[in-house]
Amino acid sequence: MGPRLLIKDVLLGERTTNVLIAGNRFADLAAPRDAAADEVIEAEGMAILPPFYNTHTHAAMTLLRGYADDMPLDVWLQEYIWPREDKLTADDIYEGSRLAIREMIRSGSVFFNDMYFEIGMTARAVEQMGVRACLGITLMDAHPMALRQEKEAFLRGWQDPTGGRISLAVAPHAIYTAGTETLRYARELARRSGVRLHIHLSETLQEVEDCLRDHGMRPVPYLDSLGLLGPDVVAAHCIHLDDDEIALLARRGVTVSHCPCSNLKLGSGLFRYDRMIASGVRVTLGTDGCSSNNNLDMREEMKFAALLAKYQAGPATLPAAEVLRWATRNGAETFGIDAGEIAAGRLADAILVDLSSERFQPRYNLVSDWVYAADSSCVDTVICDGRILMRGRELMV
C-alpha cells in the first residue's frame, strides 16, 4: 500500500472530512479522524481541490521570460526566440525546467505536456521534483538527419524511471516547420512507439493561408489527409478553424489545448468557445511557454478562458465549474492519468487552498472563488502521486 497520509478536517465539496491517501492513491474520503497514518496534514480552514494538468508548454522557456515582449509571433519567434534558443545548452534546459517546475508547483500544477529540446534533461528535473509530464520530442524539417536519428534512438531506448509519472510524445512542431514527409514520419513513429502526438495547430491566420496556398486545404483537413488525426493527438492553440474543421477534430477524438494568454499576447486571435463547446471536442488548458505568457499559472489561464468565452459568446458561456474541468480532469484524461478529481481509488493528486485568504470570502461558491477570485497566493499544499511537493507554501522538492 505504501505510506499513509491523512489530511484532517479538510473541506471537500460541501463537507468537512478526513482524506486518507495510501501509497499514490486516495484510499478513503471519509476516514476516521484518528486513522493510522505515517504523516498527517492538519487542514482545518483549507479545501481540497484537484490540481492542474497543463496540456501545452515549453517548460525551459522560463529562461526566456521577459526576453522579448510586445511584438508579433513571426518577429518574436524568428528574430528573438529561435536565435536565443540556439544558444541554450543541455544544462540550461535542465535549470530552466527546474525553474518551471518550481513555478508550476507553487501555482497548483502537477503535470505538463511539454514540447522542447534535450528532453532527457527535462525528464531528469521531472523525476527529481515529483511532478508528472508528457515530454514531446520535437521534430522539424530543419533538423539534420543525425539529430532525428538521435531522437528516434532516445525514444526507442526510453524507460520511465519514475514508475509512471513521465510519458513521451512525438511532437512535429507545426505544419509550417514540419513538411508532409516529416508529418508522415512523426505519425508513423508515434504509432510504432505507442506514444501520443503533440503539435501546434492553426495558431495564426498566416499558417492557414500558407496551408491553403501550398496544399489547397485548410490545416485540419490537410493533417487528416495525412492520417495524422486521432484520439492520441493533442493540438495546441486551434484558433483559426472553420466549423467543418472543429467538427472534424471532434470526430477524430483529437484533444485541443487552449492557450488563451499566449494567443492574446502574440495577437494570434480568439478561441471559438461557442463552436468548440457545441462540437463536443475535448478542450483542455495550457499556458504555452513563459516567453509568450509570461508565466505558467493555470489559475490565471482559467480566468482568461472563462472571461474571454463570455466576451465571445455571452456571459453564461463557460461557467466556473466547466473551465475548472478543462484545467483539471480533461487534462488528466487526455494523458491517461487516472486523476483530475478527488475520488477514492484515483491517483492522489491534489492541492489544498487556504480559505482564510480574502479571495475566498464570504465564500458563496468555492469553485467560483477559485476560478475568478483566487491566485497562487491561496495555494498552500500540493500533492502529486501521494507525495507532498509543497506544504505551507514551502517547496519540499
- Residue 96 C-beta: closest distance to a copy of itself, Å: 9
- Residue 57 C-beta: closest distance to a copy of itself, Å: 14
Q: Which is nearer to a copy of itself, 70 or 86 (CB)?
A: 70
Longest dimension (CA), the chain: 68
DSSP for 86-143?
Answer: TT--HHHHHHHHHHHHHHHHHTTEEEEEEEES-HHHHHHHHHHHT-EEEEEEEE-TTS
**CA distances to 37, 113, 162 from 188, in Å:** 47, 20, 26
Q: Which is nearer to a copy of itself, 263 or 279 (CB)?
A: 263
Q: Which is nearer to a copy of itself, 76 or 222 (CB)?
A: 76
- The residue among 120, 136, 156 whose CA lies nearest residue 56 is 136
Q: Which is nearer to a copy of itself, 201 or 306 (CB)?
A: 306
DSSP for 258-296?
Answer: E-HHHHHHTT-----HHHHHHHT-EEEE----GGGTS--
Q: Which is nearer to a copy of itself, 262 or 328 (CB)?
A: 262
- Residue 356 C-beta: closest distance to a copy of itself, Å: 11
| Dihedral, 263, 266, 267, 272 alpha carbons, nearest 10 | -10
Helices (H), the chain: 73-75, 82-85, 90-106, 119-129, 145-157, 180-193, 205-215, 219-225, 243-252, 260-265, 273-279, 298-313, 320-327, 329-334, 366-368
Q: Please say whether the dihedral angle defined by the alpha carbons of residues 139, 248, 267 and 305, taken in this order, is positive or negative.
A: negative
Angle 177-334-2 from CA coordinates, rounded to 5°: 125
**Cα within 13 Å of Cα(334), Cβ side:** 37
Query: How many CB atoms are closer than 10 A to CB 278?
Result: 14
- Residue 298 C-beta: closest distance to a copy of itself, Å: 12
Element (H, E) at 46: strand 46-49
Q: Which is nearer to a copy of itself, 289 or 386 (CB)?
A: 289
- Residue 199 C-beta: closest distance to a copy of itself, Å: 23
Q: Which is nearer to a copy of itself, 201 or 371 (CB)?
A: 371
Copy the grid coordinates of residue 357: 485568504
C-alpha–C-alpha distance, residues 111 and 81, integer Å: 24
For binding to a copy of itself (CB under 8 A), which residues are involved?
62-67, 69-73, 76, 99, 102-103, 106, 261, 263-267, 269-270, 290, 293-295, 297, 300, 303-304, 306-308, 310-311, 314-320, 358-359, 361-365, 368-369, 372-377
- Residue 273 C-beta: closest distance to a copy of itself, Å: 12
- Residue 381 C-beta: closest distance to a copy of itself, Å: 15
Q: Which is nearer to a copy of itself, 131 or 139 (CB)?
A: 131
- Residue 319 C-beta: closest distance to a copy of itself, Å: 4
- Residue 11 C-beta: closest distance to a copy of itself, Å: 15
Copy the grid coordinates of residue 51: 490540481
Query: How many CB atoms are closer than 10 A to CB 345?
Result: 9
Copy the grid coordinates of residue 149: 536519428
Angle between helices 180-193 and 145-157 (to 10 degrees): 20
- Residue 286 C-beta: closest distance to a copy of itself, Å: 15
Q: Which is nearer to a copy of itself, 136 or 260 (CB)?
A: 260
Q: Which is nearer to a copy of itself, 224 or 301 (CB)?
A: 301
